[in-house]
Amino acid sequence: MTNQDILVDCFTTALAITSDTVTEALAYNSIPEWDSIAHMTLVAELESRFGVMMDTDDIIDMSSVAKAKAILGKYGVAFEG
């Protein structure tokens, strides 16, 4: 599994959405499934699968799929392409 696959998997699991919904532009408030509770579940999922612990600023700033990738990049998680 690539890191991109794992990322998509985290979003589909935490938000209970299908993988084709997980595009770079997907942001909270754009779908009802991504609310404050799902946001917390998503962070837990990302931390567990990528073996990182984010600081609170990054957790709060994680407002889209693109932003999640950028933030994970700061913790050494590289995404292909």
Partner 1 sequence: MKEPITLEGYQVTLRDLATTDLEMVRQWRNDPAVSQYMFDQQRISPEQQAAWFERQSQDPRQRHWVIEYRGQPIGMAYLKAVLENEDLQSPSRIEPGLYIADLNYRGNILAFAPTLLMNDFCFQRLGASCLQATVKADNHAALRYNCTLGYREAERHDDRVFIELIARDYEMASGPIRSFLNRPVRSQQ
Q: 44 vs 66, which CB is nearer to partner 1?
A: 44
b/e per residue 27-60 (b: at least 16 CB within 10 A): ebeeeeebeeebbeebbebbbebbeeebeeebee
Compute the least distance from the CB of residue 78 to partner 1, in Å. Answer: 21
- Residue 64 β-bridge partners: 27
- Which of positions 3-62 make contact with partner 1 (CB under 8 A)? 28-29, 32, 34-40, 43-44, 53-57, 59-60
Applying CB under 8 A, the residues found at the interface with partner 1 are: 28-29, 32, 34-40, 43-44, 53-57, 59-60, 63
